[in-house]
Amino acid sequence: MQQRGRGRIAYPYIIWMAIFIVVPLILILFYSFTEGDIHNLKDLKFSVSSYKKVLEPIYLKVIGNSFVLAGISTLICLIIGYPVAMIIANTDVKHRNLLLMLFLVPIWMNFLLRTYAWMSLLSPNGLINRLLLWLGLPKIEIMPGKTAVLLGMVYNFLPFMVLPIYTVLSKIDKHVIEAANDLGGNSVITFIRVILPLSVPGIVSGITMVFLPAVSTFVISGLLGGGKTPLIGDLIEQQFLSSRDWHFGSSLSIILMIMILISMAVMSRIDKSPPEEERRKI
């Protein structure tokens, strides 16, 4: 009796959600399918021209770039991150927390600042090149450029990969591994046949948690790519802040959303454990 009634206390938030979550997205959808002066509602008319614009080669390339770079950085994060997660998970409890904390602490420094610090490290006259020079080695010139953007993505999103994998690995019952060994599996077989399959949920949420922010970033590419390798995020930012082409920006946003929804649907096919909480937290 009292129960159903208490659902009503959620109503104010439902209204809030409608105004600040649903309406803005509908507006974006609306602008993506119209053209004309955005400040004059009467002037707007239905059009798919901004979607057609997305299909122009120059923009398709940007979108392609975003997905390729985000994909590569996700893969690198997985390759680097999985062993890290495994090493942390296998450390004894006392040191494990210390390791985990050491791993998470950098997140607490503003990520723009950390990215900025990479600029000073990587720039042509930056610290790394000075070091190389001092050692008599050739300079590296990756910034501004794709490599630097990749590095920035891996740097910023690596913890998103490690954490979920670590969480899953640390929950695997040690007896399962012992049982596998007991049944004659050597450590490689045990890993491939037992540990890896059991950690799939962690891998899946790790991939989602890295790929999502990587594909939509505009800060990393702006700072480390020096505008040479614009990503879909940069494009959206430009449309809303400098070129003021909301229609095009909206179409790009819708396309980004759809592509992300599709990749998430694919991922959740592979496993059903939403990364929800962890993602933004870190």
Partner 1 sequence: MQKAVKRIYMSIVFLFLYAPIIVLIVFSFNKSKSRGQWGGFTFDWYFDLFKDRQIREALYFTLLIAVISTLVSTIVGTIAALGISNMSKIGRTVVLNINNLPVLNPDIVTGVALMTLFISTRIELGFVTMLIAHIVFSIPYVILAVLPKIRQMNKHTAEAALDLGATPAYAMRKVIIPEIMPGIISGALIAFTLSIDDFVISFFTAGTSVTNLSILVYSMARRGVKPTINALSTLMFTTVLILMLIINKKTDKGEDIII
| DSSP conformation class of 194 | I
Pair 86, 167: CB distance under 8 Å: no
| Nearest distance from C-beta of residue 136 to partner 1, angstroms | 19
| Nearest distance from C-beta of residue 27 to partner 1, angstroms | 5
Amino acid sitting at position 119: M
C-beta of 230 vs 233, nearer to partner 1: 233
Question: Could you give the residue ranges of the DSSP H alpha helices within 123-231?
Answer: 127-135, 146-171, 174-182, 187-190, 196-198, 200-216, 219-224
Contacts of 29 (CB under 8 A, 6+ apart): 250, 254
| Nearest distance from C-beta of residue 282 to partner 1, angstroms | 6
C-beta of 48 vs 260, nearer to partner 1: 260
What CA–CA distance (Å, rounded) separates 72 from 154? 9
| Nearest distance from C-beta of residue 245 to partner 1, angstroms | 12
Pair 196, 187: CB distance under 8 Å: no
C-beta of 57 vs 105, nearer to partner 1: 105
C-beta of 180 vs 223, nearer to partner 1: 223
C-beta of 100 vs 195, nearer to partner 1: 100
For the chain, what's the residue count? Answer: 282
| Nearest distance from C-beta of residue 223 to partner 1, angstroms | 6
